[in-house]
Homo-oligomer: A and B are copies of this chain.
């Protein structure tokens, strides 16, 4: 038996409204599919806190740049459905692109300020696509709570800010990153890595762990920590670094001296595959 799958946005909304009218709580896990244990951690949180769990699987073209990997982004709906079933997902929302973006689609949601740094700098338009599709999904799946991964830290900040700013009636929960044994953050894009790239990709988490150690030893100079992260990564892998940033967790702006709640974020290419990772620390 497969998980109940709904492809029509209006049918999806009716399902959730009916459940909530009966007094059931609904948790929502939006994904682009190709599920891994990071997604499953979101589902487990949603299961624990809700009567019903809805997962969406939609590779959203609006969040990919023209030169990015939309066409080849990995997809395996059958496997996803099996994994979702095993974890206790009640319904999968699996819409076609043409039912999400109608002819002459013209409306976009932008989150200013928070989108200019980090991945927003490397991927112009990416977060506009994310904010737009998430607003749509929140209207289609009017759940009590939705679940996002800490791995996509900037996305989590942006969606939380967006939900607040637009008065979206949904709680947003951010769930810790799930990692492979060597520390590599789980990501659907890890499947792109060849054997050597896969081994080297562990350098990302190890460089963040090094930064944590330096900070615990008293280092507060942002530049020095960034330098150490970059040096470690390039010495221990052939990665091409996109960015290493240390920012505050309110406005996501670069900071010079570490203080309060900070985010250390890294993005790097292993071959053609761009991976990201991050760590939040209280200094």
Contact = CB atoms under 8 A, between A and B. Distances in A.
24 contacts: A13-B169, A102-B165, A104-B250, A104-B251, A106-B111, A106-B112, A106-B113, A106-B114, A106-B165, A107-B109, A107-B111, A107-B112, A107-B131, A107-B161, A107-B162, A107-B166, A108-B109, A109-B110, A109-B166, A136-B166, A139-B166, A139-B167, A139-B169, A142-B169
If over half of A's interface residues share one DSSP class (helix, strand or loop), that class is named, otherwise mixed; here it is mixed
A238 interface: no
Nearest to A108: B110
A110 B113 contact: no
A169 B169 CA distance: 13
Interface in A127-173: 131-132, 135-136, 139-140, 142, 161-162, 164-169
Contacts of A48: none
Interface residues of A, number: 32
Contacts of A136: 165-167
A9 B167 contact: yes
A105 interface: yes
Contacts of A164: 102
Contacts of A165: 102, 105-107, 136
Nearest to A102: B164
